[in-house]
Chains A and B, each alone.
Chain A
Amino acid sequence: MVEEAERPAEPPHDAGQAGPSGRKREREKGGPGGRAAKFRRGQAVATHAIPDKKLKAKMRYSERLASEAAHMAAKTDEWLLPSEPGALEVEGMERTWQIQQAALVREAEEGAGRKAFDLALPALGPYALDFTRNGRFLLLGGRRGHIALLDWQRAKLLCEVQVRETLRDVQFLHNDQFFAAAQKKYMYIYDKRGIEVHCLKEHIAARRLDFLPYHFLLTSIGEAGVLWYQDTSTGRIVAQHRTRLGACDVMRHNPWNAVQCLGHVNGTVTMWTPNITTPVVKLLCHKGPVRALAVDLSGRHLVTAGADGQVRVWDVRMYKPRHAYFSHAPVEALDISQRGLLALGHGHTVQVWQDALAEKQQSPYMRQTLASSGLRGLRFCPYEDVLGAGHAGGLSTLLVPGAGEPNYDSRVADPFQTAKARREQEVHALLDKLQPDMIVLDPDSIGQVRKEPAEARAAAAAEAQAANAARRAAAADKADAKKRMKGKNKPSRRAARKKANIIEETKGPMRARVARALPHLQIT
């Protein structure tokens, strides 16, 4: 389905590469070449250039702590993690993309093989789907009003609702206890028993839902092209942005910085934060409507699929295209797994590509034909080697070795979480809830002091000085223009005034003139 397309004019920019000499030096220090590189936060501070001795010592100390922490983390990563990532190894002429799911399941371990199944629900599809953050629960939403909440690995149906109207999307909130459903007119929130808890009437005719778990923000976009942000912990509407780009059906957030990405019918992808009413980034991605998009976990790559048959990979930090793939039919659904596998599909076919983001690949990692056509949603299950595909005929899960992160962190997401741990985590998540105004393009900028550029500072100072000078000049003018009353009554002035009043000399001729002109007037 997807083939290699010609490279874009822009050469791919690889930010991760360092010069050979730099790399060697770094490896000696356990730097980017070594394992500790993954755990390092930002650039090291050049302490030798600090003139202040106290500050220098302080910075050296904190740098040492940071480097020690990175080394310890690397050691933990190397020795203490219990599991290895999944893999699919083939021999000789065999290719991984030739292997069918049936063969995979036969070869895989008993427990892993059981995770690939087909759920035939032909009457109420096509199905949208969502996994919880720990990968344990699955939410299915059929177009014709069917909602099902499953503990999918244990094949346990937790609740099932028929809402009796069109259902466009479903979305878990921060855990499995609540989920949102975009229905014909309004958005509703249901609890885990399928009982309607809230009806959110502001979100009219929503088509896509998304949830930012660290900010507790539920977002929706729909017919009117209005992006709504609603805080699910307080219930407050945080922001409402009119995109002015028509109905929108494509929305995913960037998990690195929580910026919402929308795909529009004019081929642009816009990125939004709750704080700014205009898009913070606008990318023209396709020569036709954008059909699907996804951002990887590191927030480095954006993959967009358009109706023009292109699947493009973008560098989100540089806002530059990296490379593109061509598909015979427009891709309808996309997802990127925790370990960077790219799944895409349309109709009844699904492909998975490995290492396709950083570099351009020639052939897919896996491909599979689904039991039914009408692919609606693709989602990788977190912490599992499983890809869920919702389509017109129900749900299929595919085994994709190497997709999920094998080692989970119990404090972030625990697939075996007990009710008590879940409650505890909920409380901690609420305590650590991030405010909507902390959503920015670069999340590392929080807590930093932004130094104003010298030109800007100079310009501001000049402006202030000019304003001051103008004010002073105006005050001086005003003082000059003031009507002076002092000295009006001086004796000399008084005498001068009196002198000016004497009209004796002009009296006689004036009288004569008036008498001549007006003889009937008796002037005394």
Chain B
Amino acid sequence: MRVIAINRSEEKFARERRQDLQKVHKNLDPSLHPYEKAVEYTRALNAAKLDRVFAKPFVAAFTHDDGITCLARNLHHLNGLVSGCADGNIHLWDVPARRCLRKLVGHTGPVKGLAVTPDGDAVVSCSTDCSVRLFRLPFAPFAPGPVQDAAGAVLEFQGRHAFRGVDHHWTASKFATAGAQVDVWDHERSEPVSSFAWGADTVTAVRFNPADSELLASAASDRAVALYDLRNAAPVRKLVMQTRTNAIAWNPMEPMNLTLASEDCNLYTYDMRRLQSALCVHKDFTSAVMDVDYSPTGREFVAGSYDRSLRIFGHTGGRSREVYHTARMQRVFAARFSGDGAYVFSGSDDMNVRVWKAQASAQQGTLLPREKHKQAYQAALVERFRHLPEVRRIERHRHLPAALYKATKVRRAAVDADTRKLKRRKAHSAPGSVEIKPERQKRIVAELE
């Protein structure tokens, strides 16, 4: 006869000495872990709730003397942010230290556009005072040091008209300005190298393509978005929409795609090779979209609107993933992603640049491996049970200020009424006489070559 019976010694199974860590044993047998799915569902629900509990996206506000009109980030230094003011001053901010490093003065009218040179040493600004100025940007040291005083421009370019926007070339020492026409300037010349005009009296925005840096997109007051090739010295293509475009952003990872911030509350992503139809229409704003900027990953973009809110969209998301607002934030005129994609900046009419987290509930600072693991686990759980109504309700819920909430409702009612009316018109007309255009082509008036 042989008898084997369970006989555990505490020294072997728990710990030998008091100083030792307690041993943790694992047995993955499913019968020891009952109600697996129910437990996971409960955890997913809790994770979704905690995510909302910890959603505190606001980080800091940088105060100015007048409304913010434009923002630019330094491509070389993560901590550098440049903001342009309606009083003509430009501020250089050290974001992590939350301090102003330098005030760049000289403009006599509101600064309308800012672009940092690719080497990160200078910033080009344009203003309605018919001048474009180039300022040196000091490196923002991480250690606290003496803050330098106001500095003047190094170079000054005079134009014959007010300027509305500027963007710097990705490699060469060239930049393009938007004004009465699109001008391309060289750092070394006081006159524009070339100029493009295509039937518009005012061009409001201009952006270089990140991949093909000789390609340029501009938005003008004739509701058109035009593409220019600097090598041809001629416009390539033009898209006329029903409403004006306020800002343009190229997707840095899919450089053939560009997103337009439109006056009709929507954003439109187009493939520049195929302008007959938008790739995606991004809806959710209730007023004109003023600015748009892509995350360096190209997976999402941030947009600011005249309805006093800031929204983050997925690059293929028809609806926004996140909406940011505060009681004191006014019309948002500028929005930018940070260089690491972890923060977004908004510049608004209330004289503040605000810093927000890109992930509202993300924990700041270094995470321990166990914390990282736990957060990944919770994210996976929420993803898995997202389709269940309780989890979805909590996960999708965003608080909106009463005014915005009501405006959303009113807008939805109007859109629904239009749709209904069109449907009825079609039902009561001769077959084929009323054409219902798909949403992605609805706002396109013409495409010109």
Footprint of B on A, CB under 8 Å? 38-39, 41, 73, 76-77, 80-91, 94, 99, 103-104, 107-109, 111-112, 115, 214, 255-256, 258, 297-299, 338, 383-385, 399, 401, 404-412, 414-416, 418, 421, 431-435, 438, 443-444, 446-447, 449
Asked whether A255 and B34 contact (CB < 8 A) given A83-B8, A432-B39, the answer is: yes
**Counting chain A CB atoms within 10 Å of each CB, which of B7, B46, B387 scores highest?**
B7
Produce 1/0 per residue, B23-59, CB < 8 A to A.
1111111111111111111110010000000000000
A412 B7 Cβ-Cβ under 8 A: no
**Secondary structure at chain A's binding surface: helix, strand, loop or mixed?**
loop
Closest to B40 in A: A447
How many A-B pairs have beta carbons closer than 8 Å: the answer is 141
**Counting chain A CB atoms within 10 Å of each CB, which of B27, B42, B46 scores highest?**
B27
Decide yes or no whether B364 CB sits under 8 A from chain A.
no
Q: Which of B5, B31, B38 is within 8 Å of A297, CB to CB?
A: B31
Interface stretch (choices B9-17, B288-296, B420-428): B9-17
10 residue pairs, one from A and one from B, having the closest CB atoms: A416-B14, A112-B5, A112-B7, A409-B27, A385-B5, A89-B2, A73-B28, A107-B3, A111-B7, A407-B27
Decide yes or no whether B154 CB sits under 8 A from chain A.
no
B5 A86 Cβ-Cβ under 8 A: yes
B4 A443 Cβ-Cβ under 8 A: no
B35 A443 Cβ-Cβ under 8 A: yes
Q: Which residues of B contact A405 (CB under 8 A)?
A: 27, 29, 32
**Secondary structure at chain B's binding surface: helix, strand, loop or mixed?**
loop
In whole angstroms, how far apart are the Cα atoms of A231 and B124 in the complex?
A: 67
Closest to B33 in A: A412
Closest to B43 in A: A432
Write 22 A-B pairs (CB below 8 A) sorted by A numbering.
A39-B30, A77-B27, A85-B6, A88-B1, A88-B2, A104-B3, A107-B1, A108-B5, A115-B5, A214-B34, A399-B3, A401-B4, A406-B6, A409-B32, A410-B24, A411-B24, A412-B32, A416-B13, A431-B46, A443-B35, A447-B41, A449-B387
B26 A76 Cβ-Cβ under 8 A: yes
Footprint of A on B, CB under 8 Å? 1-10, 13-14, 22-43, 46, 385, 387-388
In whole angstroms, how far apart are the Cα atoms of A164 and B5 in the complex?
A: 39
B6 A434 Cβ-Cβ under 8 A: no
Q: Which of A77, A86, A299, A418 is within 8 Å of B28, CB to CB?
A: A77
Q: Which residues of A contact B14 (CB under 8 A)?
A: 416
In whole angstroms, how far apart are the Cα atoms of A384 and B5 in the complex?
A: 8
Q: Which residues of B contact A409 (CB under 8 A)?
A: 25-28, 32-33
A408 B25 Cβ-Cβ under 8 A: yes
A438 B25 Cβ-Cβ under 8 A: no
In whole angstroms, how far apart are the Cα atoms of A434 and B42 in the complex?
A: 7
Q: Which residues of B contact A447 (CB under 8 A)?
A: 37, 40-41, 385, 388
In whole angstroms, how far apart are the Cα atoms of A76 and B28 in the complex?
A: 8
Closest to A69 in B: B28
In whole angstroms, how far apart are the Cα atoms of A433 and B13 in the complex?
A: 28
In whole angstroms, how far apart are the Cα atoms of A399 and B29 in the complex?
A: 24
Closest to A256 in B: B34
Q: Which residues of A contact B25 (CB under 8 A)?
A: 82, 407-410, 414
Closest to A258 in B: B35
In whole angstroms, how far apart are the Cα atoms of A85 and B13 in the complex?
A: 16
Closest to B31 in A: A297
A404 B6 Cβ-Cβ under 8 A: yes
In whole angstroms, how far apart are the Cα atoms of A89 and B2 in the complex?
A: 5
B4 A87 Cβ-Cβ under 8 A: yes
CB distance from B233 to the nearest CB of A (A): 44
Q: Which residues of A contact B4 (CB under 8 A)?
A: 84, 86-89, 401
Q: Which residues of B contact A416 (CB under 8 A)?
A: 8, 10, 13-14, 22
In whole angstroms, how far apart are the Cα atoms of A143 and B10 in the complex?
A: 34
CB distance from A245 to the nearest CB of B (A): 28
Q: Which of B3, B9, B27, B35 is within 8 Å of A408, CB to CB?
A: B27
B37 A443 Cβ-Cβ under 8 A: yes
Q: Which of A99, A297, A299, A383 is within 8 Å of B1, CB to CB?
A: A99
Closest to B9 in A: A111
Closest to B10 in A: A416
CB distance from B298 to the nearest CB of A (A): 20
Q: Which residues of B contact A82 (CB under 8 A)?
A: 13, 25
Q: Which residues of B contact A80 (CB under 8 A)?
A: 26
Q: Which of B1, B3, B38 is within 8 Å of A91, CB to CB?
A: B1
B22 A421 Cβ-Cβ under 8 A: yes
CB distance from B141 to the nearest CB of A (A): 44
In whole angstroms, how far apart are the Cα atoms of A38 and B14 in the complex?
A: 27
In whole angstroms, how far apart are the Cα atoms of A384 and B6 in the complex?
A: 6
Contacts A82-B13, A91-B1, A107-B1 known; list 4 others, CB within 8 Å. Answer: A83-B8, A88-B4, A338-B31, A412-B32
In whole angstroms, how far apart are the Cα atoms of A90 and B4 in the complex?
A: 12
Closest to B2 in A: A89
In whole angstroms, how far apart are the Cα atoms of A416 and B14 in the complex?
A: 6
Q: Which residues of B contact A39 (CB under 8 A)?
A: 28, 30
